[in-house]
Chain A
Amino acid sequence: MSNDAQQLRPLKVGLIGNPNSGKSTVFNQLTGLRQKTGNFPGVTVEIKVGSFTLPKGQKVSLIDFPGAYSLYPTSSDEKVLAEVLSNPGDANFPDMLVYIADVTNLEKHLLLFSQILDLQIPAILVLNMMDVAAEEGIRVQTQTLAAKLGVAVVAVSGRTGENIAQLKAQMEQLAGTTPLATKPFYTLTENECSVAEAVKMNFGTENGYRALLIAHHKDWLPFLSVPERAMLTTIQDTKQFQSLRAQVEETMTRFDRFVPIVKSAVQQPSAFPLTFTDRLDGVLTHRFFGPLIFFGIMALVFMCIFYGYEITGGWVEGAMGWLIEQAEALTTPLNMAWLTDFITKGILEGLKGVLVFIPQIALLSLLIALLEESGYLTRVVFMFDRMMQRFGMNGRSIVALIGGGACAVPAIKGTRTITNWKERIITIMVTPFISCSARIPVYMVLIPIALPNAGWWIWAQVFGGMYVLGVVVALLSGWVLKKILRSTEQSFLTLHMPVYRVPHWKNVWLTVVDKVKSFVSGVWKPIIIITSVLWLLSSFGPGDIASKARASAEEEIALGHVPDSLRGDLEASYKLEYSWAGKIGKFIEPAIRPLGYDWKIGIGILSSFLAREVFNSTMYIIYSLESVGKIEEGAAGDQKPFERYSSLKDRMLNDTFRDTHQKIYTPATGLSLLVFYALAMQCMSTLVVVKQETGKWRWAIIQFVFMGAIAYLFAWLTFLAVNAF
């Protein structure tokens, strides 16, 4: 390759290593903020690509592969690496590999490296965590390792940044050379050799070990065609090749070869002393204290997010209020009322829907990153694995479920740590059942309406009951989905629990930035579209709804039922009734009548799709209280929680059905509506994130229908039960 060509085309470097090797710390040291997250084509495995420049100007595109122990994968995360490395035609196939190994545990970290050697891809062995090694009195002769393994070895510390510059220099040096054909690290057995030869002949693969990998993975490698798969099966059958057994034997042979090499190059204290980690685990994974401490920590996380929402929600309100004023000032001179309305109530309302989640996502991902980085989350998985298994999930799901109590959006984004596909899908599907902070204002309005004479104490009980309902339904749905979904992927726990560490600020910070960035870039478009549609539906209707509304308001004021001062509110209410949204509300009334709802509640439910708390402002408009609503909603600090919405409560309690003249808001209707709000999927941000995380709209649609059906069923049963009682 000429120098010019090198300048044009970035060097593709793959960063690989076992889980817990400190790989992401090295990645962050090398690339800093110049990184972006995407998915590997076809799978939902996360890929991070960062870029940086080598000392002499060569650009590097660094691909951070998911942590793997071996090229014989047991999870979809690990499969990515085996898939890319067995196919030189893959877009992500690297020019060079940088292999990160934990030097404090080198004996267990070299298996994958020895496999890489046999694929004859230029590689550098990076011994990470030299700072910890120094503390523990471990000494390493890098020259001995380099000579015996036949590769460049660099000892670094990802946390302190020690020797990162030397790693870059080493990459530069290796990039200029052509790899020598070395003797394989692992010599294929006779049987493996004959299989590899047959694969080589038919596929044109030159490397024997790569040919063997293709034979091992014939069932799932996506680049193989049906006839190719059939041919590989024939090869395996005629050679009587037993894939799994061969994999185990190969692994053991490799260990037999490199363990003596490691022993000759690394001196470490012979015993494994009872360390800080062991003592801490004695408490943190204790039979009684372990779960207790966990729930304590989660309660803290929950409170942080809850209060964070109270505070930052106010900031967002303030900022949006200012923006709306500006937009009104700018557009009013144009004399196009619809444009002002569209910008303030459509676009900006949608923007608010995105903005309110950002502080929550940042805060939750910060707290989770701290727990993850410290090593605590793996202990949580260990403690709760059994419990969550019963409900089709895994130990890590509990973190998502608890995060869902604040907001399902960041919680669902956090499920990437669940490697089993089925367990992850179930976790994503059931997390929105947990009552999130957006449901709180709706509960505050509806509880006193459902039980007007019950008083504060009972109201608080019902409020707590909504959370219990959410958890119970989430777990039951998990159990049902476990029975329905099929997965061929074997579920393992077999989890390595790393030593406890103080989280590295850079890793935590970059995680938070990454989560917020990928949320915003993924959701803003669909949210603006959905918001605009909802605005169109509630602003327009058949005919001239504005003048019809004006006429109706005029009529009612003339009758003397309503004072003239409320003319504006009354017009807004009639306008909504005559709009398409109102028409749809009336159209779906027969469907929701069994639950005890009228068309006004229908509109409320429809508009809640923007975000659940929009139910309240819609109700204010419907009951001609728009101006009152702004005052009541604003009076957050001065009143007791359940009293904030008192005039809305009075107006709603007196409302009757037009045909039967019976009261709409009986305890049965109120409780049924509460149950509906607790269980229905009414959050477009969540749906968009589900699409983003699963890669398909299909799962978002299934979730919408599934949760809607359950909400309808439970609400209906509640209505019947309360009426019978």
Chain B
Amino acid sequence: MQRRHRTLPELKAHESAQTISFTDHALACKLTAMGVLPGATIEMIRKAPFGDAFYVKVDGVRLALRTDEAKQILLTV
């Protein structure tokens, strides 16, 4: 069966996708407040030097996210 979504950590560097939804309410609250809404374009920039964090760009805004947080973001395939 073809997957209908993937999560943020699956993106390669400089790959973009649209956000679909968030699987954690508390994080959704924080992310939407910062302007990361369902439907936003999110681009993977790079992984942190010691791993476990991602540098992403959402509509031109630069954000740092932990892997635990990034996993809660569902993206279009």
**CB neighbours of A687 from chain B (8 A):** none
Q: With an 8 A cutoff between CB atoms, is B31 at the interface?
A: yes
Tell which of B29, B57, B61, B66 touches A248, judged by Cβ atoms closer than 8 Å: B29
Q: With an 8 A cutoff between CB atoms, is A272 at the interface?
A: yes
Contact indicator A382/B48 (Cβ below 8 Å):
yes
With both beta carbons as reference points, the residue of chain B lying nearest to A110 in the complex is identified as B35
**CB neighbours of B66 from chain A (8 A):** 385-386, 492-494
Tell which of B29, B46, B53 touches A247, judged by Cβ atoms closer than 8 Å: B29
Contact indicator B37/A255 (Cβ below 8 Å):
yes
From residue B17, how far is it (CB to closest CB) to chain A in Å? 16
**Which chain A residues (275-301) contact chain B, with CB distance < 8 Å?**
277-278, 281, 285-288, 290-291
Contact indicator B37/A497 (Cβ below 8 Å):
no
Report if A105-B60 is in contact (Cβ < 8 Å); known contacts: A251-B32, A290-B49, A382-B48. Answer: yes
In the assembled complex, the Cα of A496 lies from the Cα of B45 at a distance in Å of: 14
Contact indicator B25/A248 (Cβ below 8 Å):
yes
**Which chain B residues (28-77) contact chain A, with CB distance < 8 Å?**
28-35, 37-38, 45-53, 55, 57, 59-66, 69
**CB neighbours of B55 from chain A (8 A):** 281, 285, 382, 497
Contact indicator B63/A496 (Cβ below 8 Å):
yes
Q: Name 10 extra pairs, CB < 8 A, besides A107-B59, A385-B64, A494-B69.
A: A72-B33, A74-B29, A248-B29, A382-B55, A386-B48, A387-B50, A490-B26, A493-B64, A494-B63, A495-B64
Q: With an 8 A cutoff between CB atoms, is A70 at the interface?
A: yes
Q: Can you list 11 A-B pairs, Cβ within 8 angstroms, ordered by A?
A: A72-B29, A244-B29, A245-B25, A251-B32, A285-B49, A287-B47, A383-B49, A492-B66, A494-B27, A494-B69, A498-B62
Contact indicator B63/A497 (Cβ below 8 Å):
yes
Contact indicator B63/A495 (Cβ below 8 Å):
yes
With both beta carbons as reference points, the residue of chain A lying nearest to B69 in the complex is identified as A494
**CB neighbours of A490 from chain B (8 A):** 26
**CB neighbours of B64 from chain A (8 A):** 378, 381-382, 385, 493-495, 497
Q: With an 8 A cutoff between CB atoms, is A252 at the interface?
A: yes
From residue B41, how far is it (CB to closest CB) to chain A in Å? 10
The 8 A CB mask of A486-521 against B (1 = contact, 0 = none) is: 000010111111110000000000000000000000
| Chain B interface helix/strand/loop/mixed | mixed
**CB neighbours of A288 from chain B (8 A):** 49
Contact indicator B34/A494 (Cβ below 8 Å):
yes
In the assembled complex, the Cα of A111 lies from the Cα of B55 at a distance in Å of: 23
Contact indicator A108/B61 (Cβ below 8 Å):
yes
- The interface centre, meaning the residue of B32, B45, B47, B51 with most chain A CB atoms within 10 A of its CB, is B32
Contact indicator B27/A492 (Cβ below 8 Å):
yes
Tell which of B26, B59, B61, B63 touches A244, judged by Cβ atoms closer than 8 Å: B26
From residue A527, how far is it (CB to closest CB) to chain B in Å? 40
Contact indicator B32/A384 (Cβ below 8 Å):
no
- The interface centre, meaning the residue of B45, B60, B69 with most chain A CB atoms within 10 A of its CB, is B60
In the assembled complex, the Cα of A294 lies from the Cα of B38 at a distance in Å of: 35
Contact indicator B31/A494 (Cβ below 8 Å):
yes
From residue A668, how far is it (CB to closest CB) to chain B in Å? 39
Contact indicator B60/A383 (Cβ below 8 Å):
no
**CB neighbours of A342 from chain B (8 A):** none
In the assembled complex, the Cα of A539 lies from the Cα of B49 at a distance in Å of: 56
Contact indicator B52/A108 (Cβ below 8 Å):
no
**CB neighbours of B28 from chain A (8 A):** 244, 248
Residues of chain A at the chain B interface (Cβ within 8 Å): 69-70, 72, 74, 105, 107-108, 111, 244-245, 247-248, 251-252, 255, 272, 277-278, 281, 285-288, 290-291, 378, 381-387, 389, 490, 492-499
For the complex of A and B, list the 3 residue pairs with the smallest distance between their C-beta atoms, beginning with the closest.
Answer: A108-B35, A386-B52, A244-B25
Report if A494-B65 is in contact (Cβ < 8 Å); known contacts: A111-B33, A272-B60, A382-B55. Answer: yes
In the assembled complex, the Cα of A278 lies from the Cα of B56 at a distance in Å of: 11
In the assembled complex, the Cα of A272 lies from the Cα of B55 at a distance in Å of: 16
**CB neighbours of A247 from chain B (8 A):** 29
In the assembled complex, the Cα of A288 lies from the Cα of B51 at a distance in Å of: 12
Contact indicator A385/B52 (Cβ below 8 Å):
yes
In the assembled complex, the Cα of A273 lies from the Cα of B49 at a distance in Å of: 25
Contact indicator B33/A70 (Cβ below 8 Å):
yes
- The interface centre, meaning the residue of B51, B55, B62 with most chain A CB atoms within 10 A of its CB, is B62
From residue B37, how far is it (CB to closest CB) to chain A in Å? 6
In the assembled complex, the Cα of A385 lies from the Cα of B64 at a distance in Å of: 10
**CB neighbours of B34 from chain A (8 A):** 69, 108, 494, 496
Contact indicator B69/A493 (Cβ below 8 Å):
yes
With both beta carbons as reference points, the residue of chain A lying nearest to B25 in the complex is identified as A244
Report if A255-B51 is in contact (Cβ < 8 Å); known contacts: A248-B29, A381-B64, A497-B63. Answer: no
In the assembled complex, the Cα of A264 lies from the Cα of B13 at a distance in Å of: 34
In the assembled complex, the Cα of A248 lies from the Cα of B60 at a distance in Å of: 22
With both beta carbons as reference points, the residue of chain B lying nearest to A20 in the complex is identified as B61
In the assembled complex, the Cα of A55 lies from the Cα of B58 at a distance in Å of: 42
From residue A15, how far is it (CB to closest CB) to chain B in Å? 19
In the assembled complex, the Cα of A385 lies from the Cα of B63 at a distance in Å of: 14
Report if A285-B37 is in contact (Cβ < 8 Å); known contacts: A248-B25, A497-B63. Answer: no
In the assembled complex, the Cα of A72 lies from the Cα of B31 at a distance in Å of: 12
From residue B61, how far is it (CB to closest CB) to chain A in Å? 6
Contact indicator A386/B51 (Cβ below 8 Å):
yes
In the assembled complex, the Cα of A245 lies from the Cα of B66 at a distance in Å of: 22
With both beta carbons as reference points, the residue of chain B lying nearest to A248 in the complex is identified as B28
From residue A258, how far is it (CB to closest CB) to chain B in Å? 11
**CB neighbours of A287 from chain B (8 A):** 46-47, 49
In the assembled complex, the Cα of A290 lies from the Cα of B59 at a distance in Å of: 25
Contact indicator A251/B53 (Cβ below 8 Å):
no
Contact indicator B69/A492 (Cβ below 8 Å):
yes
In the assembled complex, the Cα of A662 lies from the Cα of B52 at a distance in Å of: 56
**CB neighbours of A69 from chain B (8 A):** 30, 33-34
**CB neighbours of B47 from chain A (8 A):** 287
**CB neighbours of A244 from chain B (8 A):** 25-26, 28-29
